[in-house]
Amino acid sequence: MIPAAPILCPHAERCSGCPLIGLDPPTQLTWKTERVRAALAPYADLSAVHVEPIRAAEPMAGYRRRAKLVAAAPARLGLFARDTDHEVADIPECRALTPALVEAADVLRRALAAGGERLGAFDPRHPVRHAVAVRAVDLREARTGEQVSVLATLVLSAESERNGEALLAVGRELFEAIPRCASLAVSFHDGISPQLLGRRLRVLGGRHAVPDELGVAGLHQLAAHGAFVQVHRGQALALGATVGAALGHTLGTLDGARVLELFGGSGALGLPLAHAGARVLSIESFVPAVERANDAAFDAGLSIRDRSAGARPPPAQRGTSPALRRPSKAKERSYRATRRAPATRTR
């Protein structure tokens, strides 16, 4: 049931994260549908394409399973405020985030407020005030059945990397303090890159990756720090089902069908298609996502063939995710005998 009234959020006036929140949901859906039609209209080959009404997301609040939040002194975590020059609007009562992420962000706010000289939000006016200076946080929720896990990444100032002892101590404490935290990592930002996330990722507590169900019994992708995910779980599952149904309708059957997937990520679409019998070649440039897709395919008993993406850019920056299909028993035994240790090991 689509609610008729707008969703009320105490941060709506300042926060830039939900620009349509002041409209009632039916009006939002109409606006989005017309925007798609307007985008297709200038192209002769696409202007006649039938655009179905936008499918409403359920739930429409408490759904967002990933949040990239900017940190600001003294202990704010949020998004840039409307009509300001990068002023951070604190959003402790955000209506979009899942309860697990709201709770994790609250713990981090309290830690920033009480951290003293050892831990705090990065302040460009005093860049070395804190031994561990937090520029941003990246929170991700993963779910298998009733079990909910949180992956937390602290994006720190580059100077923080030199304070190894304080870094390890803070990492251990936050890993224990954040409810349902399955993995805590840090990365480092040079203050120059326009990207929010940092580089040189280090896992300080827990696992490198966490299973996240895909709506098919026994099948999951592996959630990892920094990896892309469709933020609404229900819409992601609906998208996968729609793609699978469309391919099945067009091809007659998915069993044995050859499917090429571009920008495959960690397998959210490719793995279910392979599970249904398709031979999926999934191309992806982010090497950690390739490794997560490899491991999740192995967990599901799907065979893997790695492919090289070429020499430019350097191999450390590019990769090709597996060609996925149902394995023969002989090939599965051979693969399992030679497979390296999974990336989900505990450090």
What are 225's strand-pairing partners? none
So what's the pLDDT on residue 206? 96
So what's the pLDDT on residue 320? 38
Residue type, 190: D
CA 139 and chain centroid, separation? 8
So what's the pLDDT on residue 78? 96
Positions in the chain short of pLDDT 50 = 304, 306-347
Rg (CA), the chain: 22
So what's the pLDDT on residue 1? 66
3-state secondary structure of 192: coil
Q: Alpha-carbon distance 165 to 162, whole Å?
A: 9
3-state secondary structure of 246: helix
Domains of the chain: 66-206 (2.40.50.1070), 227-338 (3.40.50)
Q: Using a pLDDT cut of 70, give the percent of the chain over it.
A: 86
Q: Alpha-carbon distance 54 to 56, whole Å?
A: 6
So what's the pLDDT on residue 341? 38
